[in-house]
Structure 1
Amino acid sequence: MADVWVAPGRINLIGEHTDYNDGFVLPIALPHAVRVAAARRDDGVLRVRSRQQPGVTEVPVRDLAPGAVTGWAAYVAGVVWVLREAGHDVGGFDLVVDGDVPLGAGLSSSAALESATALAVTELSGLDVDRFALARLAQRAENDFVGMPCGIMDQSASLLSREGHALLLDTRTLDTAHIPFDLAPAGLTLLVVDTRAPHRLVDGEYAARRAACHKAAEVLGVPALRDLTDVPTDLPDELLRRVRHVVTENRRVLETAELLRAGDLPAIGPLLTASHESLRDDYEVTVPELDVAVEALLAAGALGARMTGGGFGGCVIALVAAAEVERCAAAVREAFARNGFIAPGCFTATAAAGARRER
């Protein structure tokens, strides 16, 4: 029987588009996860299949290079490639992928797949690679092999999270702190709304936001926008708005972490809403489905709501009283029906454990 490794998806409580600016993020791992059953091969071939996707991908590991594998299997192949590029002795594998992280919902199914693969391949190869290094390698696999210029948050959340805690991550230093995140004793729940909105121009727009931030940092003479303590005023309007989001979002992350440490859980609600407003107005990464969901949740009594993930589709999270979950979910469903949107999916989330060997 093959060994199995599991890695969770994630929800980012707050701290959006700050990770590639060396900033702060505050995700939790989800109970939803990707599982990878893995066994070594002695012929140097990587063979990958999925229980959710048709077909089988087979490629000699020596032939792995960016562009050699496309589609979902590229996330697996990219991890094997980046480990070999880093000088590790990695051979062939049989890998079977299964999971229940919703695809295309901004819950980091790709990072979960990378993380589970990285643990499986390194452990079966007898490699001693710590989880911080694995997160960096998995990020590089997605950046350089898949071609998605993501930051380090998603892989870190999947590999480093603890059950019942949010992960406060400094993406520059990779310093972490595990902040208790248990809403139930306060009578609260984290409601997740999968808007099922199709991602619109996400790759090009995501890259454009990242490029704008790097340009602004260069103009302002700082290594990254994380180094700014105040919002500058001498920038063109578009760059100013991008910078303002990053600077204020970093502040919101640190304030949220302090409120959670103090046990003042309801007080994080307005920060979640302020984050969404900044992402909508300054960073311009929301779409109508995300904005309608947030508006409906707040009107129904949510303490705070925001989009989560890269934007241009995906999910909204809301801090709601446990007794009001169904009312808030119904309000979103009704608002979507009025606007002619696809019916959303709604579920509640708790903070789960990070990646691990299952058997």
Structure 2
Amino acid sequence: MPTPDIHAVELAETAAAAFRQVFGAEPEGVWAAPGRVNLIGEHTDYNEGFVMPFALPFYAAAAVSKSETWEFHSTYGNGDTVRADTVGSSVDDGVSGWAGYLAGVAWALNEAGYPVSPVRVAIHSDVPHGAGLSSSAALECAILIALADLHGHEIDRAEAARIAQKAENAYVGAPTGVLDQSASLLCTEGKVMFMDCRDLSREQVPFDLASENLTMLVIDVNAPHRHADGEYASRRADCEEAARQLGVPFLRDAPKHARLEDDRLNRRLRHIITENERVLDTMKILKGGTVAGIGELLTASHASMRDDYEISCTELDSAVDAALEAGALGARMTGGGFGGSAIALVETAAAAKVEAAVIEAAAAKGLRTPRIFVARAAAGAHRVA
């Protein structure tokens, strides 16, 4: 078993303590899965394109033991404990909210031929909720590896990502691609992961910010995901229609210079084509041994998401613009859009200046104060105790 992330160990201790308090026994083990930042490659995953995420040092930790009934406890929110008898039997198990992500994984594992029986779970997570950093995927992946280990199932991590995605798509009802779960399960410490979403082939690419005196800021703009579910589904439907009109299975297969008569669909197409190109260009630059050179690609990605894919918002645009004006080498929104987070690649000496500029810009526009933190590429999902 790989050495657990130190922060994951701290979260695991809290999850285990909650388990003991609620259930009056020791858990059989504790597993943790991280949130993620997508360096570049947005909305390309469900178009079978390319992505480059890395795991964040924020985790969902799951303390778990086998049981006679399904019981899910969470330390956040209202500290709820959800009990259910029929978890894993169908998508109509009746479990919703945060517990639905856990129940959905049990259902998806059973559907995939990996039978699981009831467990008790205590969840503790510090992945920022609503920030576009995959807090839901962290929950799914933590419980998935826990259930697999407890029931003796050896599941390839790429297959596990598909199973977790099915839980979110079919059980929870969110039409997401496979990026988030793949990042949580497959990323490695100190690396950004290039992944082909068609076959889930991947390459771990060195991401050494410190050697170039660079810092990656993550800017949670502290804005609600306005219309996120409906708009996300709308963008996916646009891509499917564009692919149908072009006669290709996915927009990843569209010719580079393809055009459509419908302006909206043409802009969606243009974003996917150019975003895939930006991912490939980013990988080449990083493999060439430099990080600073990807700045312009990050900024171009944001412009494409703002103008062609139309998934940005006032808060994200303010953060990106302020960061660039303050000297960031590149900046972009990250995640599904309509709220969430942005990232900014900055020289370490200028990090404080960029952070201050982003906060000041938000205040000047009457926006909520962003939460800003330094990101590092952390370890993917693993057993902690």
TM-score (norm 2): 0.91
Ranges of 4+ aligned residues in structure 1 off by more than 3 Å:
61-64
2:154 equivalent to 1:116: no
2:385 equivalent to 1:353: no
Structure 1 SS opposite 2:351 = helix
TM-score (norm 1): 0.98
- Distance in 2, Cα, partners of 1:348 & 1:129: 33
CA apart distance, 1:263: 1.4
2:84 equivalent to 1:49: no
Structure 1 unmatched ranges of 5 or more: none
Structure 2 SS opposite 1:159 = helix
2:71 equivalent to 1:59: no
**Is the CA contact (8 Å cut-off) linking 1:61 and 1:92 kept in structure 2?**
no
Q: Deviations over 1:287-309 (max 9, x none)?
A: 00000100000000000000000
Structure 1 SS opposite 2:123 = strand
**How high is the sequence identity, in percent, across the aligned residues?**
52
**Is the CA contact (8 Å cut-off) linking 2:218 and 2:344 kept in structure 1?**
yes
- Distance in 1, Cα, partners of 2:87 & 2:132: 32
2:31 equivalent to 1:31: no
CA apart distance, 1:83: 0.9
- Distance in 1, Cα, partners of 2:160 & 2:74: 23
Quickly say closer, same or farther: Cα 1:36–1:249, change in 2 above 3 A: same
* Equivalent AA in structure 2 for residue 69 of structure 1: V
Q: Which one of the candidate residues 310, 329, 338 is aligned to 2:336?
A: 310
Quickly say closer, same or farther: Cα 1:345–1:62, change in 2 above 3 A: closer
Q: Deviations over 1:70-116 (max 9, x none)?
A: 11110000000111122322100000000110000000010011000
CA apart distance, 1:130: 1.3
Structure 2 counterpart of 1:185:
211
Correspondences of 1:1-359 after superposition (within 5 Å): 1-2=26-27, 3-41=29-67, 43=68, 45-54=69-78, 55-61=80-86, 64-67=89-92, 68-359=94-385
- Distance in 2, Cα, partners of 1:282 & 1:208: 14
CA apart distance, 1:20: 0.2
CA apart distance, 1:10: 0.2
Structure 2 unmatched ranges of 5 or more: 1-25
Q: Which moved more, 1:253-262 or 1:227-236?
A: 227-236
Structure 2 SS opposite 1:78 = helix
Q: Deviations over 1:159-191 (max 9, x none)?
A: 001100001010001100000001001010101
**Is the CA contact (8 Å cut-off) linking 2:70 and 2:87 kept in structure 1?**
no
Q: Deviations over 1:206-230 (max 9, x none)?
A: 0000000011101101110001241
Structure 2 SS opposite 1:94 = strand
> How many pairs align?
357
- Distance in 2, Cα, partners of 1:314 & 1:231: 32
Root mean square deviation of aligned Cα? 1.0
- Distance in 1, Cα, partners of 2:268 & 2:328: 27
**Is the CA contact (8 Å cut-off) linking 1:183 and 1:189 kept in structure 2?**
yes
**Is the CA contact (8 Å cut-off) linking 2:190 and 2:376 kept in structure 1?**
yes
